[in-house]
Amino acid sequence: RMDSEGATRRILITGIAAAIVNGLLAGGNVDRAIVARPAWTGVGLAAWADYSRQAVLGNGQVFYPAMAIGGTLLCVLAAILFLRAGRVPQEAAWPVLLGASLMVICLPVSFVAAPFILSLRHIDNQDIAALGRAFDGSFFWGRFQMALHVLSFFANLWAISALSRNDSAGTQRPA
């Protein structure tokens, strides 16, 4: 077992990295829900499809999954480090484990959402019904992703706060 100060520091560093990645994911999702979706509704489905083909199916095809998988792995690593640590602040248990759980739950949601965007590879811009299904499906499942990413980000911040407290009296578990 690692010493409690070293263990707490490792969990904290991993939690900070997770918060950075998950904060970017959460922010991107909130932007898409509040700013982008209404704008794309006004601009039109063909413009949205063209943009999505260039952005999401371009650089986003690697960037977004790397961020989602990276954020998940960082949260899971923080949880594993926490569970393996001997004496760390117990008040961090809930947020560390919650952040990891939410990100793990989000991965299957992403797999359900992905086919809607991927379908744009085969949909002609003249097929408004198919574009509408892709648009509605991607934003429908995107709301679930957004909720899970935002909640995980806040759990990461909560964990950072709990791990950063100097006064851990009564919050240690025995080695």
Task: For residue range 77-127, list pLDDT tens digits in order.
Answer: 999 999 998 677 789 999 999 999 999 999 999 999 999 999 999 999 999
Q: What interhelical angle do 60-84 and 128-164 show, nearest 10?
A: 30
Helix (H) or strand (E) holding 85: none
Task: Assess whether pLDDT exceeds 50 at residue 169.
Answer: no
Record the tokens describing residue 154, joined without a space: 């806040």
pLDDT of residue 58: 95
Distances (CA, A) of 73 to 27, 33, 57, 151: 19, 25, 23, 16
Q: What is the pLDDT of residue 3?
A: 66
The rounded radius of gyration (Å) of the Cα atoms in the chain is 19
The pLDDT of residue 175: 39
Non-local CB neighbours of 67 within 8 Å, separated by 6+ positions: 21, 24, 25
Query: What is the per-residue pLDDT across 26-41, written as a single tens digit (0 to 9) for each?
Result: 999 999 999 999 999 9
Question: What average pLDDT does the chain have?
Answer: 91
**Alpha-helical runs (H) found in 32-92:** 37-43, 45-54, 60-84
Mean pLDDT of 135-141: 96
Give the residue from 83, 64, 62 showing the smallest Cα distance to 11: 83
The pTM for the full model equals: 0.88
Q: Residue 173 pLDDT more than 90?
A: no
User: What number is the average pLDDT over the span 55-70?
Assistant: 95
Alpha carbon distance 159, 76 (integer Å): 13
pLDDT for position 106: 97
What is the rounded CA–CA span in Å between residue 79 and residue 83? 6
